Amino acid sequence: MLKTIQNPLLKQFEGIGHAFFTRQGGVSTGIYQGLNCNLASGDDPKHVIENQKRALAHLGLQHSTLASYDAQHANLAVIIEKPGQAMPQADAIITNHPQVVLGADSADCPTILLADPNARVIGLAHAGWRSALGGIVEATLQQMLSLGARAAHMTAVIGPGIAQASYEVSEPFIQQFLESDPNNQIFFLPTLKPQHWLFDLPGYIQMRLKRLALGQIACITLDTYTHDDLFYSCRRSFHQGLGDFGGHLACIYLDSCR
C-alpha cells in the first residue's frame, strides 16, 4: 500500500496539494523494491513509470500533468509554463499553472516544497549539499517572486533526507562550507575519526531559508539512511555495496489540477 507524508503547514492551504511519498507500494523489485520513481536508476523504466502513475493516481491526478527536472546538483531554477514542457536541466521548478504537478524523486537529498497560497505560486527544489551551498534556495525564491509570490506569504517544507547522525564527511567537504562562511562550522560535529565530521544538511537548509524571511518553515525530520523500510538512500546503498538505488517521489500541485 502506498504511504505518504504530509506537513500541516502546507496541508492547511485550500487549493494546494502536496505529498512526500515513501518507497512503500509500487511494482519495483530487487534493490529497487517498492515505489521507485527514479528514471535515472537501473530499474526497469516500465516499472518506474508505473510507480509514478500509481503515485499520482493515489492523489487523484493524471501522469500527464507531472513536470520534473534532470537534476544537475547546481543552482538553476526553471519556471514550468505548461503541461508537457520538456524536462529542464535544473534543480528546482516553479509554476503557477493549474494543470502542472511539480514532482521529483530523491534518495538522501531533501526535497523542498514551497507555496504562496495567495499568489498561487508553487515551487519544488532539490537540496543536496552542492545545490544548497550553491544557492538553489535563493534561486527558487527569485523565480517564485517573478510570478508574483511574496516571501512573507510563503511556506517552505523540507522533506525527508539524510540526518546529521548518518552523514559523515571529511576535511575537503567541510572546507568548502567554511570557505563560503566560517559560521557554517555550527553545522558540523566532530567524530572520533580524525578529520571527519557529521554534517547537519537539514539544519543548513533551514538556515538558508530563514535568511529569506519566509512566512513559515518546517522540516520533516525522518532520516532516509536509517529508515530503510520507508526510504531509498544513496549512502546506505553505497555502504551496503548495492551499486545503485531508487528514489521516492515528492510533489506539489494546485488542486485545480484534478
* pLDDT (tens digit per residue) in 79-101: 999 888 889 999 999 999 999 99
Q: What is the pLDDT of residues 145-159, one digit of tens each?
A: 999 999 999 999 999
Q: What is the pLDDT of residues 45-54, one digit of tens each?
A: 999 999 999 9
pLDDT at 257 over 60: no
Report the C-alpha gap between 135 and 205 in whole angstroms: 10
Cα 97 to Cα 106, 138, 146, 147, 152: the distances in Å are 24, 21, 14, 10, 21
CA 155 vs. chain centroid, Å, equals 15
- Taking the model in full, what pTM does it have? 0.96
Q: Where are the domains of the chain?
A: 7-161+222-257
Q: What is the pLDDT of residues 107-116, one digit of tens each?
A: 999 999 999 9
Determine whether 172 is exposed, middle or buried from the number of CB atoms within 10 Å of its CB (0-12, 13-18, 19+). Answer: exposed
The class of domain 7-161+222-257 in CATH terms is alpha beta
What average pLDDT does the segment 200-223 reach? 97
